[in-house]
Amino acid sequence: MKKLFELNPALDRAALARRFAATGRVQIRDVLTEETAREILAVLTRGTPWGMAIGAGETTPQSFRMEEARTPQGQQQVNAAAMAAQEHSARGEYGFRFAHYPILTALQERWDPDGPHEVLLEHLNAPEFMALARDVTGIESLFKADGQATLFAPNHYLGRHIDSHVAEGWEVAYVLNFARDDWHPDWGGYLLFLDEDDDVVEGFRPRFNALNLFKVPQSHLVSYVPPFAPMGRIAVTGWLRSK
């Protein structure tokens, strides 16, 4: 039986912890064994009913299930929401648009009981992964993870924000990347970190089998994916929580 999730035993956790302590962020390359990383990629590419996540300004973000987005009425709603996000972004306000599958919501609402996405979320909450997160971040209070599958296709982006949900126990954001091995800088989709002057101080390229961890709140964005980019920047993203 194939395993879905197995950490790379060769990770230098002490070195990763020093990097995180210095900057509040780190990219852990080859975080999983090659076999299980390929298995997760197969689940995400072939077995995920992608919907859409769209946000515009301070209004509540909208999530459209794949079944909704494929109806004529749903398509109109998606297009209207995307246009609103674009208008906010054009004014320098917060906006985003990307394909997603909300794994935690799917689990709570029993969209696919005991399916591979639920199993993946269980692994992200298992002692082995949480121990890695605590070892690298030095935050001993971390004890659970939420998660969603995300796909940044052409014309998708995530605007600048800081993830300031401290009251909800958000401590560390994570991005478990499964982008293609040859992801090119011209294709966008970079996780970029900004200083107080909005200068980019660091950026992480989408890489296959790489885990980004960064302390929140922290100003960041995912750069715009242009129309000529391939399909697509695939990841599992969410927050590691202390409550």
Give pLDDT tens digits along the chain (243 positions). 568 999 999 999 999 999 999 999 999 999 999 999 999 999 999 999 999 999 999 889 999 999 999 999 999 999 999 999 999 999 999 999 999 999 999 999 999 999 999 999 999 999 999 999 999 999 999 999 999 999 999 999 999 999 876 667 899 999 999 999 999 999 999 999 999 999 999 999 999 999 999 999 999 999 999 999 998 899 999 999 998
| 83: helix, strand or coil | helix
- Answer yes or no: is 41 within a domain: yes
Q: Are 222 and 158 in contact (CB under 8 A)?
A: yes
- Answer yes or no: is 57 within a domain: no
Half-sphere exposure of 83 (CA within 13 A, CB side): 6
Q: Which residues contact 144 (CB under 8 A, 6 or more apart)?
A: 125, 130, 240, 241
Domain count for the chain: 1
- Answer yes or no: is 204 within a domain: yes
Q: Which residues contact 102 (CB under 8 A, 6 or more apart)?
A: 51, 53, 63, 148
- Answer yes or no: is 68 within a domain: no
Instruction: State both tokens at 56.
Output: 């515009």
Q: What is the CATH number of the domain that holds 36?
A: 2.60.120.620
CA separation for the pair 105, 109 (Å, rounded): 6
- Answer yes or no: is 198 within a domain: yes
- Answer yes or no: is 189 within a domain: yes
Residue tagged 């320098």 (tokens) = 92
Expressed as residue numbers, the domain containing 130 is: 13-50+96-241
pLDDT digits (tens, 9 = 90+) for 54-105: 999 988 999 999 999 999 999 999 999 999 999 999 999 999 999 999 999 9
Output b/e per residue, 206-227; b: 16+ Cβ within 10 A. Answer: bbbbbbbbbbbebbbbbbbbee
Instruction: State both tokens at 37.
Output: 């990383």
Predicted local distance difference test score (pLDDT) of residue 164: 73
Predicted local distance difference test score (pLDDT) of residue 3: 84
CA separation for the pair 87, 91 (Å, rounded): 7
